[in-house]
Amino acid sequence: AAACPVTAPVSGAAGFDPFGEAYQADPAGSLRWSRDGEPVFYSPELGYWVVTRYEDVKAVFRDNVLFSPSIALEKITPVCEEATETLARYGYAMDRTLVNEDEPAHMARRRALIDPFTPARLAHHEPMVRRLAREYVDSFADAGKADLVDDMFWEVTLTVALHFLGVPEEDMATLRKYSIAHTVNTWGRPSRDEQVAVAEAVGKFWQFAGTVLDKIRRDPSGPGWMPYSIRLQREMPEVITDSYLHSMMMAGIVAAHETTANAAANAVKVLLENRTVWEEICADPSLIPYAVEECLRHNGSVAAWRRLATADTEVGGVPIPRGAKLLIVNASANHDERHFEHADEFDLRRDNAADHLTFGYGSHQCMGKNLARMELQIFLEELTRRLPHLELAGDQQITYLPNTSFRGPDHLWVQWDPAANPERTDP
Ligand code: HEM
């Protein structure tokens, strides 16, 4: 039967709204119509071609010359003049980092800078992540309720990010204030007033990132990815440019922080909604790495990414003109039945869970993926061990920051009976 034209929600390309509630709460579900009927469509509202099937999203990621990542950090909402002026006043000049750099510059830089991400180097961070996770669980274990976002994930992932980058301890508090503004600035749809406020915060973030960078430059002998990059700049100044360093000093914090905080909240939410799975990982923590991968697939924290077509081409049989902008929806690809059987189900033993596209794919695939996996694994180990009787607080309305790409609940309230904490009953 035909849907009632008066009450039916606007569906199809014209109704696609990546700043609306349906997309925020469930990007894959809100795009099922597309995967099933029109897997590549033009969104007039956004001015982007939207790609939603697994094979097509992967194909776009795979060819980073035909589909350039140069627009990955461009503001998706054109800003008003006042906001532009505000950013200019702060000398804001976010430019190419890695994620939005074209070849051959990108690969030369990525190869030069990859060493701090190798498993052996990452292992150094494990005790810090474990200690932080324990301290934060300690701080609320007796309370019986917590907002896991504000009370743990947001803080721990930021501290880990700042340590990984090598930010001096005394500057961490200031940087903490700014990071969210970049997400709204880049992937959000702020109103005029918000644009100016966000521009102020982004401008201050940019300037402060520069100050911190200068400080590290004066003594780059310390640990961390930014001091490492500065040391390397002496050998290859044309690969590791000043513009790169300043841009990465700011973008790197967001890349390492919000993505991972969101991933942790998304993971706990979906696990508690699938109680038997939660109980299984409580009983057998060796299953946690599988749970992490399936959480990243089922409820990942990067919902969509962007590419620019550099020549006339086609995606999934649909002609795409040179200069077209593409929004490739990883979250939709991750729920594509054509690749993942019973894709909407959470399956701890899914044999191809790691095929998910939450970290992207190909030559730009997330460099921090194993750091993120380590954090998620440790958080789940600590929470399942200390608070296996954890449950989602029933009376909460879960909200998301409206933006195309970075996805996680603003708050995640959980509750438990502290009298039943295992450490009390079996110390
Ligand atoms: C790139 C997701 C955590 C650093 C990316 C990309 C995605 C992504 C989608 C673009 C991939 C592409 O274009 O193919 C995530 C998610 C995370 C996470 C979902 C957490 C769950 C981290 C962490 C770091 C990090 C902890 C640590 C610094 C980077 C870097 C790139 C990148 C440097 C650029 C790589 C390149 O262009 O060669 N990430 N990320 N990410 N990520 Fe992550």
Ligand 1 pocket member 359 (CB < 6 A): yes
Ligand 1 pocket member 245 (CB < 6 A): no
Q: Quick check: 417 pLDDT over 60?
A: yes
Instruction: Give dist(CA 56, CA 333) in Å, integer.
Output: 8
Domain ranges of the chain: 13-425
**Atom of ligand 1 lying closest to residue 361 CA:** 14
CA of 220 to the centre of ligand 1 (A): 24
Domain 13-425 has CATH 3.40.800.10: no
ipTM of predicted assembly, 2 dp: 0.99
Tell me the two tokens of residue 75: 């503001």
pLDDT for the residue numbered 391: 98
Q: 3-state SS of the chain? A: CCCCCCCCCCCCHHHCCCCCHHHHHCHHHHCHHHHHHCCEEEECCCCEEEECCHHHHHHHHHCCCCEECCCCCCCCCCCCHHHHHHHHHCCCCCCCCCCCCCCCHHHHHHHHHCHHHCHHHHHHHHHHHHHHHHHHHHHHCCCCEEEHHHHHHHHHHHHHHHHHHCCCHHHHHHHHCCHHHHHHHHHECCCHHHHHHHHHHHHHHHHHHHHHHHHHHHCCCCCCHHHHHHHHHCCCCCCCCHHHHHHHHHHHHHHHHHHHHHHHHHHHHHHHHCHHHHHHHHHCHHHHHHHHHHHHHHCCCECCEEEEECCCEEECCEEECCCCEEEECHHHHCCCCCCCCCCCCCCCCCCCHHHCCCCCCHHHCCCCHHHHHHHHHHHHHHHHHHCCCCEECCCCCCCECCECCECCECCCEEECCHHHCHHHHCC
**Atom of ligand 1 lying closest to residue 99 CA:** 37
Tens of pLDDT, residue by residue over 82-120, are 999 999 999 999 899 999 999 999 999 999 999 999 999
Ligand 1 pocket member 379 (CB < 6 A): no
Tens of pLDDT, residue by residue over 399-411, are 998 889 999 999 9
pLDDT for the residue numbered 338: 98
Query: Which of 264, 26, 236 is CA-nearest to residue 111?
Result: 236
- Alpha carbon nearest to ligand 1 atom 18, residue: 259
CA of 283 to the centre of ligand 1 (A): 31
Q: Quick check: 173 pLDDT over 80?
A: no
Residue 188: band (very low, low, confident or very high) from pLDDT cuts 50, 70, 90: confident
- Alpha carbon nearest to ligand 1 atom 36, residue: 364
